[in-house]
Structures are given as C-alpha cells and as structure tokens.
Structure 1
Amino acid sequence: MQKLFIIILLVFLQIPVYAQGTDVSFDSTYESAVVTGTTQGQGENILYVTELPSGETINLDTYGEAVPIGSRVYLEHFTDQGYYNFVAVNRNKGILILLTVFIFCILALAGKKGVRSLIALGASMGLLFWVLVPLLVNGFDPIVTTLVFGLGVLGFSIFITHGLNRQSLVSFIGSFSSIVIAAVLLYCVTRAASMTGFIDDHIQYLSFATDNTLNLVRIISASVLIGILGVLDDITITQVAVVRELSDNDTLSKRNIFQKSLRVGRDHVASLVNTLVFAYLGATLPMVMYVSLLEIPFWILTSYEFIFVEIIRSLIGAIALTLAVPVTTWLATYVFIKSIRTEGEAFSTACSHNHH
C-alpha cells in the first residue's frame, strides 16, 4: 500500500504543472467527442472525423497521434474563435478498471484494515491536492510546508490504519524524525551543489507559469521528501511490532531486545532500499537509456543536474530508511520496556500488599 502511495504521488504531482501552464488568454471549454472516421488532410496528414456532443462533425488534427476509430477524445473548444483543439484520448476507462481491481484486492486481502488503509490513502491524496500543492504554488517554503504535510500524511497512514495506540505513536515519531533528517541532508547537499532547479521541462513550465517566483531547488527537495513518506511507516510499524513482541519476554534485557530487533530491521531495510532505488530507476528508465548512449565519462555525467537529482533522490531516501530503523527501535525499546517494567512493579507491589 505504501509503495503504491509513492507511485500515485509522483504521477499526480505533474497535474498542477500542466494546469498552471495552460494559456488562459482565450475563453475555452473542454468537451468530449467520438472519432467516427478519417479523412485526408494536406500532404500525408490524416485528419480524424469527430462527432461532437451536439451532433456536429469536424475534421480534427491529432498532430501525428494515432487514434482508433470509435475512441472518445477530449477537445478544447475556443468559444470566441469557434475552434477545436485536440487534447488527449480518453484513457480513464483503463484507470477505473485498474482502480476497481486494486480496491477489490485490498479489501479481499486486508479486510477492515484494508478499508482503513484506503481511507488513509484518500485523506492523504486530498491533503496533497487541496492543501500542499496550492500552498507551494502560492510561494510557501517547500521544505517546511512538506514537513508539515508529512505530519498529516504519516498521521493518516499510521493512526487511521493501525489505530491510536503507543505502537502507532512510536512509529509516527520515528518516521517523522527520519523525514526531518532527510530534509536537513537535502538542504545541505543542494546548497553545496550550486543547483539551479531546471532539471526537466515540467520544472521550466512551472517556473514560467508562476512568473519565476518559486524556489525550484526547494520544490525538488520537497518531491524527494514526498517520495520517502510512503515507505517510512512500513518499516517503523514493523520495528515497533518486533520490539513489542520481544518485550513480553522477561528474560531479555533492554540491550538484548534492541539488538534482536535491529537484526530484523537490517533485513527489512535491505529489501526496502532495493525497492526504493529500483522504483526511481524504473521511473527514469528513458533517461537511463539516453545517458547510456552518451560518450561522456561517468564522473562528468553525475555532475549533470538532472542526473545528480536522481542520484541524491535515491541516496537520501536510502539513508532515511536506514536511520529510521535504529531511531524507531531505540524509541520503542525505551517506551515499551519502561512501560512493561512499571506495570510489572505495580503488580508485584499489589501482590505484596495482599500477602501482608
């Protein structure tokens, strides 16, 4: 569930960029239409015969994109000019099918906890679109704002899914501590690297649409922090659960429990770091393929800003995950061992009084 959260965040963060980049100097509306056939345009250009909701048909230029007959497409209608512009093929049906399958799988496997997990995911996405993105677009500090956003996301993800208890609270504190450490590292690294923030077209569109008022380097840092959020609660919840189970064994000292829990955490970290790095590599596969074709020394390639960002994204994410294990394990050991010992002492005292 947490890994899916990363993917959804990374994909949908692009939507506000395009929305801000839309030319608003013309009156326009969006309409849905159906492609009914093709016709020959100028030269070898193929135009698509498209039926509008009103029943009128127009010849539509899709700018080289092949559109199957019968497909539903989205058009931008410039009402003051009577002109229609092709926007995209309607692909929402595929999304709805996959979303339905996803929800079914979650509910079938996780039951009530799956329901709570879906509610937490929905709340986190709402917080992203309706709170974080508007604040960032309006110039609020990206790192500080994202840290506050992280409090909300971790709160939804942990407390709604796992309940309001000591185990969840320790996991929450451990996760947020790791995010803060990652934010400090990002701040130091990006300042030392003399970054500009212009790493791809999306960033340039965003800068243009907001009149160059945003700190792009901090926006990139915020995206790195968001990418880490989804996997932190996974590892911290597991670590706290391990400590909680081991703490029931009265023969183990606090040191023993910490060491045994840490050994479990090492295995978990190894798999999660691998998952995180390959998730980033998979998302940037076209870039990796392009870089492989360049006859440029590796140490020079890594200094290119768009490559540098992906490297620090993976490394800082891995560092945050790794540090989350000892931080959360130590905190859980302190909280649970102290609590259990206090309860045990109270029980012993009560028994002693009853005996007398």
Structure 2
Amino acid sequence: MGADHFHGHSHGSAPPSRGAVLASLAVLVPLAVATLACLVWLWPSGQAGQGTPAGREERAAERVEGTISSITLRRCPAVQAGMPVPDPATCGNATVTVDSGPDTGRNVTLRLPGGPGAQRFAVGDDVLLLRAGDGAYQLSDHDRSTPLWLLGGAFALAVIAFGRWRGVTALVGLAVTFGLLLTFVIPAVLAGEPPMLVAVVGSAAIMLAVLYLTHGFSLTTSMAVLGTLASLALTGLLSYGALGLARLNGVTDDSALTLGMSLSIDTRGLLLASVIIGALGVLDDVTVTQAVTVNELAAANPSYGFARLYRAAGRIGRAHIASVINTIILAYAGASLPLLLLFSIGSQPLGEVLTTPVVAQEIVRSVVGTLGLIAAVPITTALSALVATRRSPGEGQPTSALPSTRSLRRARS
C-alpha cells in the first residue's frame, strides 16, 4: 500500500499531509503483517485435532434429493390424555421418487414425519431423504435450495442495482467474510486452537480485507480500520472481565455442552469469540459512518478545526448509536423469543429469569457490545478529525484564510 493509495479525499478538500499518511502506514502495515503471520500459523492443516471425535469423517447416512409423487393419509393413532393431538396432515405415507444417488428414478414409500412441529408435505414438493448404509430411506425435510438461490439472486441484484460498483465490492467482501469463517475460524476452533485467539485473528483479517475492498484504499478507510481495531480490543477486554464477573462459562444449551464434552473445546473462550465476531459486524458500520462523516464535514467546511469537526461528527454519532442500541436489543430478543415464551409459560419471577445462564449470557453480550459501540464513536471521530485537519501545506487553504476582493482593492489604492 503506497502513500498514493491514501490520497482518496472528497472534492473540495485538500489531500492529507504526508506525515498523516506515513503515521497511518506505520500502524497498519505491522498490523497487516502480524495478522497474516497469525493467520498462517493458526490455519488448520486439515488433520483432526486432539478434540476431534473419532469417526467424525464417517457419515451415518447419505442425503439425497427426491420429489413427492403421491400422499396417502390415514387415521392418526389414539393419544393418551394430556398428550398433544397430532396433525391429521402428518399421519400417513408418501410415495417419493428418488432424484439423486445410486437409486435415481426409484419410487419409495415412506412414513410421513409425525409429532409436534413435524413438517407438512404435499404432492410435488421437493424433499430431502436420508439413505442409510443398508439402503433404507427416511423422509427428512423440504429441499430449500431453489428458493434460497432465488432469494440470494434477488439480494445480489438489489445490492448491485443500488450500490453499482460499490455494491459489487460489498458482495465480494461478504464472500470473503463467509470464506474466512468457513475455512479458518470454524476449522481452527475444531482443530483445538484457542477460540478467542482465532476470533481475534479472524476478525482482524476480515476487517482489513473487507473494509479496504469495499471502501477503497483511502485515509478515511484507514481511520475506520484503526477505530474498529481499538473498539474491538476494548470489547474483548470488557467481555473477558464481564464473563468472569458474572461467572459464565459458555455452557447454556445442549450444543455448547456437547462441544465442551466431545471436542474438548474451551466453551468460555468460544463465548468470548462469539462476542468479538458479533461485535465486529456492527462496529465497522459505526466506524465507517463516522470516518466518512468527518471527511465530508471537512470538505464542506474547510475552516473547521479539530474541535468543531469532532463536535459536529459526534452529534451524528450519538444519533446513530441511539438507533443501533435499539437494533441490538431487538435482534437478541428476536433470536431468543422462543426461550422468552418458555419462561413466560413457567411463570418465573423476572429476577430469576434474568439470572439464568442463558439470559444472563445474552445480557452480558448486549451490554459489552453496546459499550464497544459507544467507544467506537469518539475514538474514530477523534482519529478522523485529527487527520482531516492535517492538510498538505499550500493546498486547499480555507476560504477565510485568503484575502477578500475588498482587501485587495484597499491595498491597491
């Protein structure tokens, strides 16, 4: 990244000073090198780690595709008193044509799934079947690949139509994020690496790649990167202290218990990793917004100094944070809605509900993430305002610093 890449500035504003560019490179280049080195060091080798259960590579059943050609319903069996009454649409058999696998074209008759929450099937539905080693089939679920591809295509077209080239780079950044999560973060944790270290390295790699890819190599983006990094480090420290204070170990459901027992994964470290990665998704939104806001204010008002830029952009940041906080709380509440309903049915006092591990974990996650967001505004705003007021000498001088036409006439007379 040469210095010329950091001369991206708004029209009407002077380019940043060479000192500001060199100072940014002095921080960002070692950060990028350290991130790359840690990425290579922690990259999973593809071999099973110490915590990988034996036989993990073996698949108990093969998943194949099929299409329901007919359904024969029958009377549902009698149930005992107090038990839920089954849905009549789930009692019977379905004839399915196998569309993939070794038995392609074969028709199999399978029992419809029953019980509470069972899927409802109709003739013509694309379904997924589980084929056991002995050749027996079981009706598993709906095949949602086609609807998901259509939704993904609509999403991509909408992003490109609105964002144009910036939309294309945003989609590429999204692919990079998923790629690092699926090829580095998850395999490294499963290989037995410390989850928090993996999350920090993965988040730094995602941040550096995605922010520069999406927003370009400019000093404005660099300030957003530095603000995100500082806020992310603060979020990690706060998370570590808050989880220790609340005595949370990350085991709140069967999934975490299974990971902790069968794979010997540090569940507390895994919880810390989830907090860091979750915070990154909102932090980069706030930091990029603040950096761009300061840059645009400096371009529109060249006479603004550090204090005026900081106050003006800070007011925008406070309004942004106020809306983001509500978004975070609603997102966590929506994800935990079934759990909240269970607590409501149980008629537990509010104090007992809030202190249960699963709810307390989400409270800590929300509070720590919010504190990190709040810190991101002054940090990024101060960095961006400091750089915006350090312009190259002799370029883009404020209008107020130039002599007026009336002063020139007086001087001539």
Q: Same fold (TM over 0.5)?
A: yes
Counterpart of 2:330 (choices 278, 283, 287) is 278
Could you tell me which amino acid in structure 2 is paired with residue 112 of structure 1? W
Deviations 1:185-208 (A, max 9, x none): 111111222223221233234335
Aligned 8 A contact 2:97 2:106 in 1: yes
Greater RCO, 1 or 2 (C-alpha within 8 Å, sep 6+): 2
- Structure 1 residue aligned with 2:294: 243
CA RMSD of aligned residues (A): 2.7
Which residue of the partner structure matches residue 304 of structure 2? 252
Residue matched to 2:363: 311
Residues 116 and 161 in structure 1, CA contact (< 8 A), matched pair in contact too: yes
**Residue in structure 2 matched with residue 335 of structure 1 by the alignment:** 387
Deviation string for 1:301-321 (max 9, x for gaps)?
111001111111211121111
Which position in structure 2 is the counterpart of 1:32? 65
Separation of aligned partners in 2, 1:152 and 1:195: 28
Structure 1 position 221 matched with structure 2 position 267: no
Native 8 Å contact 2:286 2:376 kept in 1: yes
The normalised TM-score by structure 2 is 0.73
Distance in 1 between residues matched to 2:201 and 2:191, nearest whole Å? 16
Equivalent-residue separation in structure 2 for 1:275 and 1:83 (angstroms): 47
Structure 1 equivalent of residue 249 of structure 2: 196
- Counterparts of 1:238 and 1:150, CA distance in 2: 19
Deviation for aligned residue 1:347:
8.2
Q: Which has the larger radius of gyration?
A: 2
Q: Show the counterpart of 2:110.
A: 60
Consecutive unaligned residues in structure 2, runs of 5 or more: 1-52, 78-90, 399-413
- Corresponding letter in the other structure for 2:94: Y
Check if 1:97 corresponds to 2:150: yes
Q: Tell me, yes or no, if the aligned pair for 1:21 and 1:209 is still in contact at 8 Å.
A: no
What is the identity, as a one-letter code, of the residue corresponding to 2:356?
Y
Paired residue for 1:168, among 221, 226, 242? 221
Asked if 2 retains the 8 angstrom alpha-carbon contact of 1:175 and 1:324, the reply is yes
Aligned-residue identity in percent: 26
Q: Which runs of 5+ in 1 are unaligned?
A: 1-19, 349-356
Q: Distance in 2 between matches of 1:146 and 1:229?
A: 10
Q: Flag the structure with higher helix content.
A: 1
2:139 is aligned, of 86, 89, 96, to: 86
- Deviation readout 1:151-170 (Å, 9 max, x if unpaired): 12212321011101110011
Q: Counterparts of 1:308 and 1:256 in 2: how far apart (Å)? A: 41
The number of aligned residues is 326
Q: TM-score, normalised by structure 1?
A: 0.84
Kept in 1: contact 2:243–2:249 (CA 8 A): no
Q: Deviations over 1:48-82 (max 9, x none)?
A: 21122332222223431321111121122123x22
C-alpha separation between the residues in 2 aligned to 1:346 and 1:74? 64
Cross-structure match for 1:139: 192
